[in-house]
């Protein structure tokens, strides 16, 4: 008798980008793409973002992993920021052409070994200080030392500008960091898990995940979203500009998703953050008009493929509204998502199993 095929063992279409393939089990987060729901370790995103500090959300996510020091956040992140400032001179000496993102990777690589319990906090705490220092170095400004008494949403804003940020900006950044904390087995998290499965050092998993995040189809999208909003410039131009882009077969940044077949819930959480920020500036109104025009155009252009607003559209609008330069959008994404990457890396390492799929050879036969 022939056995029914085991779906978990069936060979996926190798050209389909692993779509629909289940490659890990996790207690960390679940993306329900049909219903537009994101669950972070048993809680819906909407019940966390806007109500909990970033540190509280990280504690919640890390709870089952028994990461040393996670009970003492935010103090642990504050200490990690102080420790990370030791590597900042290296960022100052970096070649001038290096981007903020690359300087952050340089600083992360220079941290001492990160294979002890608790190093998830060391790395997650380090990224914001590397980001602020990298930005100031790239701008030819002296880096500012961290203040370990401040929290993760406050201190990076202060280190970027030298001024204590307004509370409304802190709350908006906190909302953003909680919103992007973790998101199932996306491309960068998968990368982190693959690296961790080799039992490599934790910072190597984060470095690799950063590389995967940086592309425009993933975490590199919000800068181009703002470029698009600026290029459109006025609501009356939206339909024509978008129609032209789609006619040229270009992708509209900030729309579409591999998993969501409906609206990305993170887009609404960030849009709600704009309301609490009182951001009724013309750029926000322009963005809303562009979103409406883009969704209408995508429905016409791709009637069989639901293409809705994703997290990156309102990431760009929210971060711009609190004065963050577009060159820092992807670095900030990495800084917040690091907590999720570390959690997935540790979860993967605990399985003790190397991730090693196969490829289908289509090259010439051996001569
Ligand atoms: N604009 C126009 N067309 C689109 C878009 C878009 N934003 N997204 C998908 N499509 C079209 C594709 O051109 C393709 O059309 P075709 O079948 O005629 O060739 C079809 O929809 C399916 O696209 P795929 O790339 O196969 O779908 P996939 O699930 O792999 O894509 C992705 C997901 C990469 C996010 C895509 O929607 C995209 O490129 N969006 C724009 C970039 C972006 O916003 N990235 C951020 C994603 S959120 C995040 O990673 C945090």
For 245-266, how does the pLDDT look when each residue is reduced to its tens digit (9 = 90+)?
999 999 999 999 999 999 999 9
Pairing type for strands 29-32 and 37-40 reads antiparallel
Query: Please, which pLDDT band fits residue 75 given cuts at 50, 70 and 90?
Result: confident
Condensed to tens digits (0 to 9), the pLDDT of residues 52-62 reads 999 999 999 99
Report helix angle 202-213 to 119-138, nearest 10: 50
- Active-site residue flag, 257: yes
Q: Which of 182, 184, 256 to mutate to test the pocket of ligand 1 (most atoms within 8 A of CB)?
A: 256
Whether 358 has a pLDDT exceeding 50, the answer reads yes
Out of 55, 171, 183, 257, the active site residue is 257
Cα of 286 vs centre of ligand 1, distance in Å, is 23
Whether 352 has a pLDDT exceeding 70, the answer reads yes
Whole-number pLDDT of residue 1: 40
Whole-number pLDDT of residue 337: 98
Within 10 angstroms of residue 271's Cβ, the number of other Cβ atoms is 18
Cα of 194 vs centre of ligand 1, distance in Å, is 24
Tokens 């820092």 sit on residue? 328
Condensed to tens digits (0 to 9), the pLDDT of residues 86-105 reads 999 999 999 989 999 999 99
Q: Tell the residue nearest (CA) to atom 25 of ligand 1.
A: 258
* Least confident residue range of 25-34, 77-86, 89-98, 272-281: 272-281
Condensed to tens digits (0 to 9), the pLDDT of residues 176-188 reads 999 999 999 999 9
Cα of 305 vs centre of ligand 1, distance in Å, is 10
Give the whole-angstrom CA distance, residue 85 versus residue 75.
16
- The average confidence (pLDDT) of the chain is 94
Whole-number pLDDT of residue 320: 96
Give the whole-angstrom CA distance, residue 345 versus residue 316.
28
Whole-number pLDDT of residue 67: 87
Record the tokens describing residue 184, joined without a space: 């199932």
Query: CA 245 → CA 218, 220, 231, 290, 359, distances in Å?
Result: 19, 19, 12, 13, 35
Whole-number pLDDT of residue 164: 96
Cα of 252 vs centre of ligand 1, distance in Å, is 8
Whole-number pLDDT of residue 12: 74
Whole-number pLDDT of residue 11: 67
Burial 121-156 (b: 16+ CB within 10 A, else e): bbbbbbbbbbbbbbbbbbeeeebbebebebbbbbbb
The residue-averaged pLDDT of 302-320 equals: 97
Whole-number pLDDT of residue 7: 55
Whole-number pLDDT of residue 13: 84
Query: Please, which pLDDT band fits residue 15 given cuts at 50, 70 and 90?
Result: confident
Out of 183, 312, 344, 347, the active site residue is 312
Ligand 1 atom nearest residue 218's Cα: 50
Measure the N-to-C terminal CA separation of the chain; round to a whole number of Å.
Answer: 40
CA-based radius of gyration for the chain: 21
Whole-number pLDDT of residue 279: 65
Tokens 């001038």 sit on residue? 96
Whole-number pLDDT of residue 2: 40
The ligand 1 site (C-beta within 6 Å) comprises 17, 217-219, 221, 251-258, 302, 305, 307, 310-312
Give the whole-angstrom CA distance, residue 249 versus residue 232.
17
Cα of 308 vs centre of ligand 1, distance in Å, is 10
213's CB contacts (< 8 A; 6+ apart) are 187, 188, 219, 220, 330, 333, 334, 337
Contact 227, 316 (CB under 8 A): no
Whether 10 has a pLDDT exceeding 90, the answer reads no
Contact 336, 180 (CB under 8 A): yes
The residue-averaged pLDDT of 300-323 equals: 96
Whole-number pLDDT of residue 121: 95
Q: Tell the residue nearest (CA) to atom 45 of ligand 1.
A: 217
Residue 21 phi, psi dihedral angles, 5° rounding: -85, 130
176's CB contacts (< 8 A; 6+ apart) are 270, 273, 315, 318, 319, 332, 336
Condensed to tens digits (0 to 9), the pLDDT of residues 211-242 reads 999 999 999 999 999 999 999 999 999 999 99
Q: To 5 degrees, how large is the angle CA 235–CA 237–CA 242? A: 105
Q: Tell the residue nearest (CA) to atom 15 of ligand 1.
A: 302
Contact 315, 274 (CB under 8 A): no
Using a 10 angstrom Cβ sphere, with 0-12 exposed, 13-18 middle and 19 or more buried, the burial of residue 220 is middle
Condensed to tens digits (0 to 9), the pLDDT of residues 100-125 reads 999 999 999 999 998 887 899 999 99
Whether 298 has a pLDDT exceeding 50, the answer reads yes
């Amino acid at each position: 008798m022939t056995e029914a095929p085991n779906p978990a063992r069936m060979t996926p279409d190798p050209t389909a980008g692993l779509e629909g393939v289940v490659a890990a089990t996790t207690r960390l987060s679940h993306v329900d793409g049909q219903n537009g729901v994101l669950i972070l370790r048993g809680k819906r995103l909407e019940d966390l973002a806007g109500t909990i500090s970033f540190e509280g959300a990280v504690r919640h996510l890390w709870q089952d992993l028994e990461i040393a020091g996670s009970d003492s956040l935010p103090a642990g992140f504050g200490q990690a920021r102080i420790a990370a400032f030791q590597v900042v001179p290296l960022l100052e000496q970096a070649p001038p052409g290096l981007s903020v993102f690359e300087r952050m990777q340089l600083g992360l690589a220079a941290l001492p070994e990160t294979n002890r319990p608790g190093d998830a906090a060391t790395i997650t705490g380090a990224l914001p200080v590397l980001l602020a220092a990298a930005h100031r170095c790239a701008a030819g400004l002296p880096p500012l030392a961290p203040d370990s008494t401040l929290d993760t949403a406050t201190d990076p804003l202060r280190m970027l500008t030298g001024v204590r940020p307004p509370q409304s900006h802190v709350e908006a950044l906190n909302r953003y960091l909680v919103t992007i904390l973790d998101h199932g087995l996306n491309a960068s998290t998968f990368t982190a898990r693959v690296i961790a499965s080799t039992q490599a050092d934790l910072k190597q998993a984060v470095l690799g995940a950063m590389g995967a995040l940086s592309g425009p189809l993933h975490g590199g999208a919000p800068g181009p979203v703002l470029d698009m909003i600026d290029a459109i410039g006025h609501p009356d131009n939206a339909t024509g500009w978008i129609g032209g882009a789609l006619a040229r077969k270009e992708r509209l940044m900030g729309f579409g998703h591999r998993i969501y077949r409906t609206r990305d819930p993170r887009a609404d959480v960030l849009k709600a953050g704009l309301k609490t920020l009182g951001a009724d500036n013309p750029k926000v109104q322009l963005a809303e008009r562009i979103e409406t025009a883009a969704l209408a155009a995508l429905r016409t252009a791709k009637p069989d493929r639901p293409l809705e607003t994703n997290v990156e559209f309102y990431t760009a609008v929210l971060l711009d509204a609190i004065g963050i330069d577009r060159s820092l959008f992807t670095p900030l994404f990495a800084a917040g998502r690091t907590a999720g990457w570390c959690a997935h890396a540790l979860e993967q390492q605990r399985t003790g199993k190397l991730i090693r799929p196969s490829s289908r050879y289509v090259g010439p036969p051996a001569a």
